[in-house]
Amino acid sequence: MLETFSRDFKALVKETTGVLYHILVVALSAGVALSLPVAAGFLSQDFSAYWSVIQNDRVALIALEVAVAILLIASINYLRQSIRDRKTAEMAEDAGLTMFFLPQGLFAQRKIKRLKRQHGLARNIMIIGSTGYRTFVHPHGDLHAVLENCLEAKIMLLNPGSDAAQARAKAILGQDITLESFQEQVGKCIEFLRQLRAAQKSIQLKLYSDPPHVKLTILGDYIWLQHYHPSRTSM
């Protein structure tokens, strides 16, 4: 019931924001329309008097030319950036991408975790990762609560006894990252998944021996994709 109330409240806030936005646009349009006579009067009378003073002052004339040039350059750059962003947005929409985050930020991490919890609630989940320890075993992991409340989970993790696991352990920057730590983390993941299966959860786990390139999570109709940096630990 609380989840339904939260969803309805967010929908109400979103609709109210849309209505206020349209009201603001209409108000601004009316303000511009009402100010046109004043602007026309200024251009026809006062502007000619100001210009007669400016055109005989070289410093003021140069300053005005520089200001107009800066404004023109900024407007052109903004227009070009807007066109480029529009094309990028269209490509992302065609590819099915709805959100993009830089995961280093604290607020971004919180938002990612919250969205994953919302999209994965009572859904079927598929995960491809490295060890999975930071992702769903750790209590503060993004998918810890999601796995506990999912309907079914299919998980693929890196085989800790493979050559790819040993190569990744050597490539990651940090003295505490070893093949033994990989094996320990995968062991904790297996134990966590066993506890979920004991609680009547449908859990399937498979191990792969190829080098990990991406972390892929499918939560219902949503896909979360993250690149594995070769020299950094990943969730």
User: CB-based burial of residue 31 (10 Å sphere; 0-12 exposed, 13-18 middle, 19+ buried)?
Assistant: exposed
- The three state secondary structure string of 117-153 is HHHHCCCEEEEECCCCHHHHHCCCCCCHHHHHCCCEE
Q: Are 124 and 62 contained in the same domain?
A: no
Which of 95, 125, 158 represents a domain boundary (last residue)?
95
Average pLDDT over residues 15-37: 69
CATH number at residue 211: 3.30.870
Q: What is the pLDDT of residues 185-226, one digit of tens each?
A: 888 998 999 998 888 889 999 999 888 888 888 887 788 888
Q: Are 156 and 205 contained in the same domain?
A: yes
Quick one: pLDDT at residue 156? 92
Q: Are 85 and 112 contained in the same domain?
A: no
Is residue 232 included in any domain, yes or no? no
- CB neighbours (10 Å) of residue 230? 13
Is residue 235 included in any domain, yes or no? no
The answer to whether the CB of 117 falls within 8 A of the CB of 146 is yes
Is residue 213 included in any domain, yes or no? yes
Quick one: pLDDT at residue 54? 62
C-alpha distance from residue 203 to each of 33, 120, 161, 221 (Å): 64, 15, 22, 19
Q: Are 123 and 77 contained in the same domain?
A: no
Report which of residues 149 and 94 the model is more confident about. Answer: 149
Q: Are 89 and 114 contained in the same domain?
A: no
Whether residue 4 is predicted with pLDDT greater than 60 in this model: the reply is: no
Is residue 54 included in any domain, yes or no? yes
Strands (E), 20-143: 124-128
If one counts the domains in the chain, the total is 2
Structural domain that includes position 48: 2-95
Q: Are 9 and 119 contained in the same domain?
A: no
* Most confidently modeled range among 31-40, 43-52, 71-80: 71-80
Whether residue 154 is predicted with pLDDT greater than 60 in this model: the reply is: yes
> At which residue do the structure tokens 């989940």 appear?
125
Q: What is the pLDDT of residues 220-230, one digit of tens each?
A: 778 888 877 65
Is residue 209 included in any domain, yes or no? yes
Q: Are 188 and 209 contained in the same domain?
A: yes
Average pLDDT over residues 140-152: 86
Q: How far apart are the C-alpha atoms of 82 and 85, rounded to whole Å?
A: 5
Which of 95, 120, 140 represents a domain boundary (last residue)?
95
Q: Which residues pair with 219 in a beta bridge?
A: 125, 222
Whether residue 58 is predicted with pLDDT greater than 90 in this model: the reply is: no
Q: Are 114 and 43 contained in the same domain?
A: no
For the chain, give the percent of residues with pLDDT over 70: 66
Q: How far apart are the C-alpha atoms of 155 and 129, rounded to whole Å?
A: 8
Return the ∠ at Cα 62 (arms to 60 and 66), rounded to 5°.
115
Is residue 61 included in any domain, yes or no? yes
Which of 25, 60, 95 represents a domain boundary (last residue)?
95
The answer to whether the CB of 119 falls within 8 A of the CB of 219 is yes
Q: Are 110 and 221 contained in the same domain?
A: yes
Q: Are 162 and 71 contained in the same domain?
A: no
Is residue 233 included in any domain, yes or no? no
Of the candidates 185, 61, 195, 192, the one whose C-alpha atom is nearest the C-alpha of residue 134 is 185
Quick one: pLDDT at residue 206? 92
Q: Are 34 and 71 contained in the same domain?
A: yes
pLDDT band at 47 (very low <50, low <70, confident <90, very high): low
Is residue 52 included in any domain, yes or no? yes
The answer to whether the CB of 160 falls within 8 A of the CB of 209 is no
Average pLDDT over residues 227-234: 60
Q: Are 34 and 66 contained in the same domain?
A: yes
The answer to whether the CB of 164 falls within 8 A of the CB of 210 is yes
Q: What is the pLDDT of residues 104-123, one digit of tens each?
A: 666 767 777 777 877 777 78
Across the chain, what does the average pLDDT equal? 76
Whether residue 235 is predicted with pLDDT greater than 50 in this model: the reply is: no
